[in-house]
Structure 1
Amino acid sequence: MRGSLGHDREWHLQARCRGLPSAVFFTDDHHRGRRRVDHENNAKRICASCPVLSRCLEYALDAQEPYGIWGGMAPRERAALVHVNRGGRSSA
């Protein structure tokens, strides 16, 4: 169930990113173009083998994380996912 923001963070103890510098998963404003893509792809490679990938993505979507790679997705990818999911829901 969603909505457990901040309450169930035990999944983070099993994350592949645990102990790595946060800079691996967050780009600064100076990263543009190929440099940004390479930086993001490096983070995504770490995420790809993470045992809690889906839980991390769920957290990022719940928290509406605007920055960084979470659950193997960049902010623009998460925004697109939310947009697609909202587009398929009924308002009733």
Structure 2
Amino acid sequence: MSRTTYALRPTVDAWEWQLRGSCRDADPELFFHPELERGAARQHRDAAALAVCAECPVLRQCRQHVLAHREAYGVWGGLTEDQREEIWAARTDRRRLRRAG
């Protein structure tokens, strides 16, 4: 028997948390900006999406997923696209510093 088989599990177990997301009952357009949306309109839409996330019972799992899989678009895990980019950039900077040190 392969040593890796212990890590395999049914797909439903890995993704079941998504069924409990607060976003499932919200308008999907709230979480993804229309093309060329900028300024106050985008800030208001993001704030409304983040309010849904703030009450979500699976916020932690969603955030872990989106940061691990580098989802580039939309509000996920209580983070906007710009917030995720900042997190990823900070991680990259820390890795560079460790390698240089």
Task: Please say whether Structure 1 and Structure 2 have the same fold, judged by a TM-score greater than 0.5.
Answer: yes
**Does 1 or 2 have the higher relative contact order (CA < 8 Å, sep 6+)?**
1
Cα distance per residue 1:32-80 (max 9 Å; x no partner): 1000000000000000011111111111112211110001111111010
Unaligned runs of 5+ in 2: 1-10
Equivalent runs, 1:4-83 vs 2, <5 Å:
7=11, 8-83=14-89
TM-superposed CA distance for 1:25, in Å, is: 0.5
Q: Which amino acid in structure 2 is aligned with residue 43 of structure 1?
A: A
Count of aligned pairs: 86
TM-score (norm 2): 0.75
Q: What is the CA RMSD across the aligned residues, in angstroms? A: 1.7
Flag structure 1 segments of 5+ consecutive residues without an equivalent: 1-6
